[in-house]
Amino acid sequence: MLIAAAIILLSVGFLPGFSLNVPTDSSLPIMLIAVQAMVFAGQFLLLFLLQKSGGPVFLSLLGSVGAVVGVPVAILLQGETAPEGLLLGTLLIAAGIALLNIGKAKQVPDRAA
């Protein structure tokens, strides 16, 4: 993914009349790039930790949970209307997460015995 982003960035840099120069007259652009790089690297670290601890099935639920969180933000902050089936979709996603966690809880052997 990072290689593809680099290829796209380089190809955009060769477009006529387009420049990728970062203004260096102040330190703000450089600091913003550094913060963005740290956030991006931290996101990947958290993603890999989540995959390690939860497994691939738990990780695949991340997109659905993101949608359930994103819809209320769009409704409250951007004035969007709630889509049909929002409540049903949210309940099904919550049921999937609950069933996944119940299944994991049953697989953990009791170490006290």
Q: How far apart are CA 99 and CA 94, in angstroms?
A: 9
- pLDDT tens digits for range 87-111: 998 899 889 888 877 866 666 565 5
The answer to whether 92 touches 99, Cβ cutoff 8 Å, is: no
Is residue 112's pLDDT more than 70? no
- Express each pLDDT in 38-91 by its tens digit: 998 898 888 888 888 777 877 887 788 888 888 888 999 999 998 899 899 889
Measured distance CA(79)–CA(57) in Å, rounded: 33
Q: Give the angle subtended at the CA of 101 by the CAs of 113 and 46, to the nearest 5°.
A: 110
Q: How far is CA 33 from the centre of its chain?
A: 19
